[in-house]
Structure 1
């Protein structure tokens, strides 16, 4: 597929209407674009006033087998009465194709945004995530990757150091500090953990609330350590995070046993996410949506702050890891 398709420039309303018609869905409203940079996601109503969400997957990111694995995982969770938004099965398939675009249809669910300072909601997420991991541990993904240094550090390093977007004045310092960060991660990373199927992008923005927590957007799902789905839900200073973590794990372990050895991976995983995220933006720069959304990426002030963050993260990795504490 050519670059214009990679950037979704060929994904016109007419193409969307026609693609939905091929699976028996006739759009009877306008298309409301929902927040998504990696894919294109739209809400609409059909002729029966049923609301749906349709997702068009970015070409060349996941293949059909990898998308099907994600869908099968969410369907298993839904069948276990876990609150996730699973795709609809139409014509015996959850993945459809039209003019080179793979797409899926989902029910539209009304809900509020998850509140990070709400204890009831926090406890609900802990219980839900324990149940998700209980099922995720039954078998690994076969076609999706496993979280590791190659995807999250080495490949992003190549992207960051071989592009024309980052200001020249910062390149030398970036090379040195990024190399130090990667070396520090290598020294603290270990593979002594059970790989399970994860959400893998479990930040508060991917959680909704409607009487109970609802997990959405499994697009980044892959194998990895359980802690990957937990650390992004913690906030505050070191002590506050330890209190939150202890409360979280107590509820989580009602369904899935947590390996305390994974606590050492939190700061390496944070570093990996930071580096991977920056490379992801640069890699997608040809998509017009990215320069509009991230205009600061070409500013030298941003990169100077980023270098400071890298140095701070090096120190965070070297510092004592979070631990479970007594909160009685």
Structure 2
């Protein structure tokens, strides 16, 4: 299987065969869901509710790291948190079929949360605090940490190796990322040691689904070790929203307010990582189609400007 086209063989027939191999009976209905890193399908079944099938990108995670994700999701579900955990078949949650690794989970629908609602933000804060109480019980052994190597250094290397930025911008890009790296390092040093724990890792509004019964969290694919504020800042679009999240969080678990000073650093790291992620996946045909702007010089010029602004804020 080519690293450049990892999903070239993942046809609808192969997906259906993988579901059948679990002893389920698909009715032929397939719906591709919005996912670029992995491939995710909603599969209709003849004798039950649909399931969600996630086919993991080859080479990204080790089996041990995927199993840690599954175990964390199940630990959260066992603690009565609204988290979608994978289904087990003959005791296994990580499944293999024709060279692909995949997992199945129940389908849970929902709508985006209202981040203007103080009540909903406080509710999310309480749930994230409960999630972190579980996350603090033990540590990941195989999953990434939220650090400069994974979110700055490697993404920068991927961009420079991709030749996506024009040659005239490559040195400017390298220089600004190095500036961001220094500023991020200085900010973490200034804040000092903070507690780290197992996190959702990518807790943005798209990974929270709301129903009449309340919210539930999906997609622990980026679960990693880091500070608690990582699971809060992407849900807070302004100071009022952060206050509401922390009001809910603080009712269930102590929060170190010194971590709030890390938010500009975390935001800058995410920007660097985003460009690096696109560059690292550019040979996957889905990426040029979904992110055509990354082939344009003007986007890289704006990206460089944005990173300088992030560094200005940090400095």
Do both share a fold (TM > 0.5)? yes
Contact 1:146 1:195 in 2 (8 A): no
- 3-state DSSP class of the match of 1:85? coil
In the alignment, what sits opposite 2:284? 287
Show the 5 A alignment for 1:36-51: 36-51=35-50
Number of the residue aligned with 1:232: 234
1:205 and 2:206 aligned: yes
CA contact (8 A) 1:7 1:286 kept: no
Q: Which TM-score applies when normalising by structure 1?
A: 0.91
- Give the equivalent residue in structure 2 for 1:268: 265
CA distance in 2, matches of 1:298, 1:100: 31
Name 2:222's counterpart in structure 1. 220
1:315 and 1:205 map into 2 onto residues whose CA distance is: 29
Q: How does 1:122-161 map to 2 (within 5 A)?
A: 122-161=121-160
Per-residue CA distance 1:216-237 (angstroms, 9 max, x = gap): 100000111111111111113x
- Displacement, 1:244? 2.5
Q: Does the residue aligned with 1:208 lie in a helix, a strand or coil? A: strand
Shift of 1:176: 2.0
Distance in 2 separating the partners of 1:113 and 1:251: 19
Contact kept in structure 1, 2:203 and 2:234, CA below 8 Å: yes
Q: Distance in 1 between matches of 2:203 and 2:136?
A: 17
3-state SS of the aligned residue for 2:41? strand
The answer to whether the Cα contact below 8 Å between 1:39 and 1:58 also exists between their aligned partners in 2 is yes
Distance 1:51 1:293 in 2: 27
CA contact (8 A) 1:207 1:214 kept: yes
- In the TM superposition, residue 260 of structure 1 has moved relative to its aligned partner by 1.7
Measured against aligned partners, the alpha-carbon deviations of 1:148-203 in whole angstroms (never above 9, x if no partner) come to: 11111111122222322211221222122222121111211246122200011011
Secondary structure at 2:28's aligned position in 1?
coil
- Of 231, 248, 252, the residue aligned with 1:251 is 248
In 1, distance between residues paired with 2:290 and 2:223?
24
Aligned partner of 2:306 in structure 1 is: 309
5+ residue gaps, structure 2, are: none
The TM-score normalised by the length of structure 2 is 0.95
Name the structure 1 match of 2:22: 23
- CA RMSD, Structure 1 to Structure 2 (Å): 1.4
Deviations 1:4-41 (A, max 9, x none): 6x530111111111111111012103210000000000
- How far does residue 139 in structure 1 lie from its aligned partner after superposition? 0.5
1:299 aligned residue: 296
Contact 2:201 2:222 in 1 (8 A): yes
Q: Distance in 2 between matches of 1:174 and 1:42?
A: 37
User: CA separation in 1, counterparts of 2:124 and 2:106?
Assistant: 21
Structure 1: give runs of 5+ residues left out of the alignment.
Answer: 319-328
Q: Which runs of 4+ in 1 moved over 4 A?
A: none
Q: Is the 8 A contact 1:201 1:229 kept in 2?
A: yes
Q: Which residue of 2 aligns with 1:3?
A: 3
